[in-house]
Amino acid sequence: MKLIKRHYGWIKDQEVIEYHLVNNQGATFKCLNYGAIVTAILVPDKNKSLENVVLSFDQLSDYLTYPTYFGALIGRVAGRIRKGQWLDHQLTLNEGKHHIHGGEPNFSHLLWETKEITNQADTVGIQFSHRSPAGENGYPGNLVTTVTYFWTNNQTWIMTIEAQTDERTLFNPTNHTYFNLSGETKRTIETHQLQISSEVYAEIDDEKCPTGRLLAVKDTAYDFTQPTSLQKALKKNPKGYDTPFKLQEGKVVLTEQESGRKLEIETTRESVVVFSTTGMEEDYLVNGKKMCSHLGLALEMQELPDAVHHRQFQSIILEPDKPHSSQTSYHFSV
């Protein structure tokens, strides 16, 4: 296995580096020190053709310009917090009346400190760390976060997240990669099948904030308990998905028949937020093509959003004496 460093650009006087983690089959995972952004995952299809299976921009300025969070690490807290309120703390309001993805600037907008991990058999990795000062975006507590991306010889991306605070605060990070297994976005996500081990989803209101109600997926367009065609699901639910699902077993599987590719996600987190990019007809280019509806599927592994306002959701409170530790793995196969 090898790890290659490439110059990617500059932000003021700070250099942005792209790391290429290459396994013995040539399958490659690429990420930046900026935002801990995953810029490409090149894995074989059934004919052994190595192609990129995530949405990427081809230049740094696009990552800085468009708020799509392609591949980025989101924090301190992913998703919306209604009115940015937690007890008497007022968090940054960066989406109308609400707080989203940790405020601004958030984890996806900064240069992380990095450390290369090359001393293990069958794995290479990059460790990212960052210290967020107390009061940033309204959150109490000096928070030290360490995220590690490992890439293995059997095409698995393993993400571990650890964090420690010196004061009671909130923590619910995610990685915001959008997948498209057809390779180089040749087809949309409508040719994909999705399976989620979830029997309930969180209802959201018109402003995309959870209402607190957990609804049964059975007999609805939210039932992905069996492998389900996204084309059929999106027909039943033309507004698309921007939906938190509470997981039973921490498992999500995405497949695409024509390429033969399969992605199996396993996580210790409580939920997955599925975002289908429905209606995103934009002028910018993604993997060299015009961004369009259903070009990618974001699968955001996290605790349920807006948990501070809903007792039935898992707590995202981080205590000084109980550091956060979680793991999500993404295994690609054919």
Q: Of 174 and 326, which has the nearer Cβ to ligand FUC? A: 174
The reply on whether position 208 binds ligand FUC by CB under 6 A is yes
DSSP letter assigned to residue 98 = B
Pick 69 or 157: Cβ nearer ligand FUC? 69
Helices (H) and strands (E) in the chain, counts: 2, 30
Minimal distance in Å, beta carbon 95 to ligand FUC?
A: 8
CB of 208 to ligand FUC, least distance (A): 5
How many chain residues touch ligand FUC (CB under 6 A)? 8
Nearest by Cα to 149 from 287, 40, 256: 40
Shortest CB 111 distance to ligand FUC, Å: 21
The answer to whether residue 179 forms part of the interface with ligand FUC (CB under 6 A) is no
176 in catalytic set: yes
Query: Cα–Cα distance between 274 and 196 in angstroms, integer?
Result: 10
Residue number with CB closer to ligand FUC (32 or 274): 274
Contacting residue, 273, 295, 297, 316, with ligand FUC by CB under 6 A: 273
Exposed / middle / buried, residue 333 (Cβ in 10 Å: 0-12, 13-18, 19+)? middle
Look-up of token digits 């209606």: 279
**Rule CB under 6 A: is residue 194 a binding residue for ligand FUC?**
no
CB-based contact 169:322 (threshold 8 Å): no
Phi-psi sector, 240: left (phi>0), alpha (psi -120 to 50), beta? left
List the structure tokens of 12.
Answer: 């003021």
Which residue in 275, 313, 330, 332 binds ligand FUC (CB under 6 A)? 275
**Radius of gyration of the chain measured on its C-alpha atoms:** 19
Q: How far is the CB of 57 from ligand FUC (least distance, A)?
A: 14
Out of 29, 69, 139, 151, which residue is the one contacting ligand FUC (CB under 6 A)? Answer: 69
User: Whose Cβ is closer to ligand FUC: residue 31's or residue 297's?
Assistant: 297
The one-letter amino acid at 167: E
**Known catalytic residue: 109?**
no
Amino acid identity for residue 31 in this structure: C
Amino acid at 116: E
Give the shortest CB-272-to-ligand FUC separation in angstroms. 11
Residues recognised as catalytic:
176, 300
Give the residues lining the site for ligand FUC (CB under 6 A): 68-69, 208, 242, 273, 275, 298, 300
